[in-house]
Structures are given as structure tokens and as C-alpha cells.
Amino acid sequence: MTPIKLPNNIFGMLSFTIIRIAFYFVILFGVISCQQQTSNVVATGNTAKKPVLNSYNSSGAVSANNYEYSNAQPDVADLNQIMTVEDAARFERRIGIGAPMKRVNRYIGKTRRDAINLVVSELESYQDEFVWPDWVNNVTPTSFFERAKKRNRFYCGESMFEDSLRMELSKRLLTSQIPQFERLFLFWLDHFSVEFKAYSQSHAFAEHMRLIRKNSNQNFPDLLRNVFNDPGVIVYLNNDSSSAKKPNENLAREFLELFSLGEGKYNEKDIKTLAKAIAPYGINFVSEKPNWFSSKASGRDFEAFGQSYKNPNEFVDLISKRADFGEMLTRKFYREFVSIKPPKTNDIAILMSKFRASNFSISKLFEATISLKSFWSEESRLNLVKSPIELFYGTARTLGYAGRDMDNHIWMSAFATELGQDLFNPPNVAGFPGGTAWLAGQMMEKRIELINRMFGDFSLKSVVLVAAKKTTNMDAVESRGQQSRIREIESYRSERSQFFKNLKKDQLGVETILLNDVTRDFEKNRWRKIEAVFYNVQLNGRKWDGLTIRFGNDKNDKGKYGDHLRVEQGKSNPEAFSKSAFNKSFTNDKGLRTLKFSYPSGGDQRRMPRSSDDKLLIERLLQAMLIVLDHDRAYSQLSVNSAAQKWLGQFIKKVGWKKLNINGELYLPAKMFAIATGGGGTPYPKMRNFLCGFNQAKHNFTEARQIPKEFDSFSLSGADTAIEDQNLIGLLLPDLYSRLGPISVKQALMHEGYQLR
């Protein structure tokens, strides 16, 4: 790259001062701009029309035919310009993550139109290469026995679920060859905000990420339809506790206000109606996968904006025909990629026209946004504030240098969190405020301090030295510990597989049994119960990830139930009993179909499942509780509750513990593979210590946090990518480079303008 001629020192110093003043003016103007209310105006051609959709229209929105966008024509003359180094670097910083020389070089000498076509083509054809941690597909969730964990004080590595996901995303952000996809993924992750730490459903959050990644470059209405089957959103916005009779309005409200239409485009009746329509959309509480519950459904048609709909899919069809559908999103795209200043009326008209014409293709909206004259204009330069994620990962990618600690990439995510962007834990459902909020208070100084701490020692020579060092810097002791842990998991899985393989006909096998709840004042309480969780169950070829069964005895119920079982739909995966068994169920106060029946005898057996397979399962589950009684030391709730122990023993005695006789050999009717003791080794030599949650996951943290080899492709140290410091500054500060005097790479990184893009 040919060095650009720099101004002399006097002019450079003067320019530096002017730039600093201009920078703070931009920030101040941005803050003022963000406080202004933008009007809902659209243009036909280049002439603004009077706002017509700024308030709710009870008879329905103005139709698209009466609210034209089709004549709004973009000014594309600038797209024929040939891209300079500065143009190319600025373009990459805006659409990607940082400005790596490898990617910037692709655009130099091309027209802006060709560069746009290239990145859009890559985006549209992108096939996701995200590596999901082992636990996502191979470990049963733990949230359905959360109470058992807390009351028995044993740990399933919950924090490691989040850490492992964070590490994999960190690697993608650092090494992606299609960073425009990752930018869109981050945009949607913020748009559909879910807080990981708010609930214990780790698998639900992973599925939330998977759905977003699958749809980040696809179709906006389809993405909205997926929201209703997104277990992360369902749990975070409490739709799992909703029913048509008692609807929870959280998801309906945020769907209209934050996800699809925007504030002021609906009324309270629309929220209440939508809440009823989406009430059946919940999750299976074992698998944490989406589940539709007919018992929570209304069975009626619904109405919004003067039109009827039967289900959420039809509702999305309905709103996508509104003339203002997508306007909120086009404004968010403008703010994300163009400027924090209010958009020009004609720019929104252009974006809406292109968006609607493409049937709301996300890739086409991205293309239209980066094709705007405003995107390339001088006035939009240095008008966007880098998020903390962009700041750290972009710097690393631009320099081809991951900082002083070259072995560990996760520090970048940690520093971003320190600056207010904990990616998996946004402040609320509205997501991160973004824009100038990233610089509020003393954040500017803190950002510069952290950049200096990690990249302040950068030189092309340091890249070579640290790169040579990084392959030998793994902590050998920690590595051996991780390898030992993985061998333990492989041994556990192998023995468990053999355990289930050796099951006999009619013999129930369960990995472990846990107790969620045991009534404390068992003798006096009217509603006494023992809620048991059977984790990983097999019987005659039938398999369950988990079964939640409540064994109970309602005191003073005048013999109606006596000893009984209670099972709720959605609390087992797959359902505990055959589908026909729930035909006689009742609906509980949460809208879930529920079976409650006396067993093995008693006053009400009407709802007891009738198939032979279901009857055998019921008998074996109760018999398996004898294993719990025999090992009560491992169940703290039961060990201190003699009344509960006595009752459970009597209950089991009613069905007996008759051994199975198979070809003259006697076998136990039920057996258990492992036992949870609350930490340490199991006191029962015939059983393994139960490995739960992340403790079953084959995830090597030592390897996961290493800088991936793919990152080497961004290195500036090789002869084929040789670059001088002054040229590198053109990548770091493309909008200021020609106006600054000679400064070092470190000074460029510390410059306030580096915080903008």
C-alpha cells in the first residue's frame, strides 16, 4: 500500500486540536439528536408527504396502496466512484468488525457498487459455521430439577454453560471471514433481547441464539414468526406461565412495541388480544424446547386493526400488509449503519420501498442501507459510536494482534462487559441503549485506558514475537486437568450406555432420581407430597430425558384420592404417558393438562392411564422410589422427615417389590445408575456419583480460550502482507488520516476519533 503524504508537524498539531473540538461537537450533537422525536414521514419521489400513520388507527392501518413508497428513487451516482484506501477501510469498519487489511484490500480499486455487491452476495450465501458447545446437543438440561439442586446443595456447573457459549461466539467474532453476518447477528441479538442470568434455562438461551443465527440474513416476517417459538424469549417474557384465561401480556406488548411495529402503532386492546392468541406457546420444562399447549388456547378467532386472525402466523401476515410495517426496523438499520442523527425523510422512503419490494428481505434492507448516499456522505463520517464489542474485536482484527495476552481471546468479551456490554445480559428487554450512551460519564477515558492496556505495546515486531510464543504458552497443568476431566466424562458416558444396554424386559432403568420437593410439616399438612424427578429413563425401549412425578396424599379429603400420583403436561420429555391418557385430564390453574388419580387403589381412579405400557411405567416409578428410601442420606429433604419416609414406605408396600423372573434369573424391577450426594464421592460403592449439567459436557476450556489458528489470516507480520505503521493508521483512522500530522499507531489507538466509525 502506497503511503499517503502526511501534512507537516505544525499543521498536524493544529489539525489535531481542531479534530478534537469537532469530535466533541459530534458527540454533543448526537446526544441532542437522540433526544429528538423523529416524525413518521414518508416520501413519494423526493417530496415529503404529510405524516398519516403517527397515531393508532382503530379501523386499521392505511393500506400500502394508499401509502406509496415505490416512487422514492435513490441517488446512486456516488456508487460509481472508485474506492480509495480510506473509502475501503471506512466501508469495512461500518459493515464488519474492524478493518483487517486482508478485507480492505478486496475493495481498493473497485467501485462502491461492486464492493456492496460483494458483501451482500457473501451475506446472502452465508452458511453458518458456528460451533455449538457439546452440551447443547448432548446434555439434558437441569432446570427442571432446579429446586432439588438448591435444597440438596449440589452444583451442575451452571455458570459454565454461559461461559462456553461466550467463548464460541468470541472465536467467531475474532475470526469470521464474513463479519457482516456477525454484525447482523449482534444486531438481532440486541433487538430480541434475552437475559441469560434472569433464569436457569441454559438450553433455551442456546436455542434463542440458534434461531437468531438461522434467520439473521433471511426474511423479517419469518424472523418475527420464530419469536413465538423461541424458548429464550418465551421464558424471559413469561409466556410460559400464560394461558388464554389468565394471559400474561409481556411478550405481546414487547412484540408490538420493540420487535415489530413500534410505539404508538397499536392500542391496549391489540395487546390483550395478541396475548390470548400466543398464550399456548410455551416450553417443555425438561427439554427447554418450544411446546404448544392446546389446553392454554382460546379456540376463538382474534381481531386487530379491524381485521381477524386465527393464530400468530396470520397476525404477522396481517401486520406485514400495513403500509408502515418495517419502518421501525429501517430506522434502526439507519442508526446502526449510517448515523445517530435523525434520518432524512427520503432516506426512510428509499429504505421502505426497497424493503417492501424485496418482500422484507433482511439482506436487501442491509444492501439498501449501505447504498444510501447518506451512508457515504461526509456528514455521516464519525457519526457512529463503536460498541465495546466492536472496539476490542475490531482492534484485534485490524492489527492482527489479540493483545498482550496472545493466548487468551476471552478477555475481549470481559472488557466489553466492563464497559457496559455484557452480550448475553442486556439491561432490559429494550436491549443496550447504544449510540452516545456508550460514552456516558467517564466511559471515554475508561475505553481508552483499556485499549491502551491491551494494545498499547503493539508494533509489527511484537506481532511476530508474540505469534511465535503463543503455541508454546498453554498451561500444561491446566491442560492435563482438562484432559483428565474429559476422560472421566467419557468413562461415565460409556458405563451409563452399558447400564441401559443391560436392562431386561419390564425392568426400569434411571440414571438418577432427585427430589424437587418434600412437604416439611408432612403429618399436619393437608396437601402433602413428594415431587420426584427421574432423570434419563428407559423402559422396554421407551425413553424419557426426564419425568416429573408428584406422589401425594391429600389429608382429610374424605377418601376421594388417598395415595395418588399427579402428572402435568410439559413437565416430562416426552410426555410421561401416551397421548390418549391425557384425554381425561383436567386443566390446572396454569393452564396445563393434569392427571391426578388414586393408586394403586382408592376413591378416584377415573383418570388413571389405561394402556398396559402406561400402567407398567406407573408401577415401576413408584417401585423405584424404594431406591430413594434405601439411600435417604443422599436426599437431605427426606432424611430429616421421618413422617414422609414412613408414608412413602407404606405407599411402595402397596405395590410391592417383586423381582422379575427371566429364564430362572431374578432381577430388580427398577435400578439406578448414579446418585447425587451434594458433592464429593458417593457413599454407595455400587453407584456412580451423578454428573449433571455441564459436568457431563466435553468442553475443554483450556483449548476453547486459545486464539484460533484462523486468526493468523489477519496477521500483518507476513512478507506478503507487509505494511508500514503510517499505512496502518489509515486503517485505524480512515476518516482523520489525511488531516492528522505524523502520529504513532499507539497515538491513533488512543485518539478519541478511534472510538467512532
**Is 23's pLDDT higher than 60?**
no
Q: Write down the pLDDT at residue 74.
A: 82
User: What is d(CA 32, CA 39) in angstroms, rounded to the nearest whole number?
Assistant: 16
**Is 407's pLDDT higher than 50?**
yes
Residue 341 confidence class, pLDDT cut points 50, 70, 90? very high
User: What is d(CA 577, CA 310) in angstroms, rounded to the nearest whole number?
Assistant: 30
**Is 31's pLDDT higher than 50?**
no
Mean pLDDT of 79-86: 95
Q: Write down the pLDDT at residue 36.
A: 37
Q: Write down the pLDDT at residue 44.
A: 33
Mean pLDDT estimate for the chain = 87
* Secondary structure (3-state) at 50: coil
Mean pLDDT of 151-174: 92
**Is 261's pLDDT higher than 60?**
yes
Tally of CB atoms within 10 A around 501: 9
**Is 321's pLDDT higher than 60?**
yes
8 Å CB contact between 704 and 164 = yes
Q: Write down the pLDDT at residue 629.
A: 95
User: What is d(CA 258, CA 265) in angstroms, rounded to the nearest whole number?
Assistant: 11
**For helices 179-191 and 158-175, angle between their N-to-C axes, nearest 10 degrees:** 140
* Secondary structure (3-state) at 417: helix
pLDDT digits (tens, 9 = 90+) for 446-492: 999 999 999 988 876 666 555 555 544 455 656 777 888 899 999 99
Please give the DSSP secondary-structure letter assigned to residue 343: P
Mean pLDDT of 715-734: 72
Mean pLDDT of 545-572: 89
Q: Write down the pLDDT at residue 702.
A: 86
Q: Which residues pair with 531 in a beta bridge?
A: 517, 550
Q: Write down the pLDDT at residue 712.
A: 87
What residue segments make up the domains of the chain, in order of their start? Answer: 9-29+387-474+719-755, 486-701
User: What is d(CA 403, CA 453) in angstroms, rounded to the nearest whole number?
Assistant: 8
Dihedral sign computed on CA atoms, order 140, 144, 146, 152: negative
Mean pLDDT of 557-561: 70
Mean pLDDT of 58-63: 42
User: What is d(CA 738, CA 31) in angstroms, rounded to the nearest whole number?
Assistant: 27
The separation between CA 572 and the C-alpha centre of its own chain, rounded to angstroms, equals 24
**Secondary structure (H, E, C), 541-569:** CEEEEEEEEEEEEECCCCCCCCEEEEEEC
Q: Write down the pLDDT at residue 490.
A: 94
- For Cα atoms 423, 427, 433, give the angle at the middle one, nearest 5 degrees: 85
Q: Where are the alpha helices (DSSP H) in 341-475?
A: 345-357, 362-371, 373-376, 388-399, 410-418, 443-455, 460-470
Grid cell, residue 290, equals: 418450544
8 Å CB contact between 690 and 675 = yes
Please give the DSSP secondary-structure letter assigned to residue 72: -
Higher pLDDT, 205 or 699: 205
Q: Where are the alpha helices (DSSP H) in 176-227?
A: 179-191, 202-215, 220-227
Mean pLDDT of 335-364: 94
Q: Write down the pLDDT at residue 679.
A: 58
**For helices 443-455 and 388-399, angle between their N-to-C axes, nearest 10 degrees:** 30
Virtual CA dihedral for 352, 353, 357, 362, nearest 10 degrees? -30
Higher pLDDT, 716 or 97: 97
Q: Which residues pair with 574 in a beta bridge?
A: none
Q: Write down the pLDDT at residue 154.
A: 84
Read off the pTM: 0.90
Residue 640 confidence class, pLDDT cut points 50, 70, 90? very high
Q: Write down the pLDDT at residue 48.
A: 37
User: What is d(CA 279, CA 194) in angstroms, rounded to the nearest whole number?
Assistant: 19
Q: Write down the pLDDT at residue 561.
A: 82
Residue 404 confidence class, pLDDT cut points 50, 70, 90? confident
Is residue 108 classed exposed, middle or buried when 0-12, 13-18 and 19+ CB atoms within 10 A define those classes?
middle
**Measuring CA to CA, which residue among 326, 340, 409 is closest to residue 374?**
340
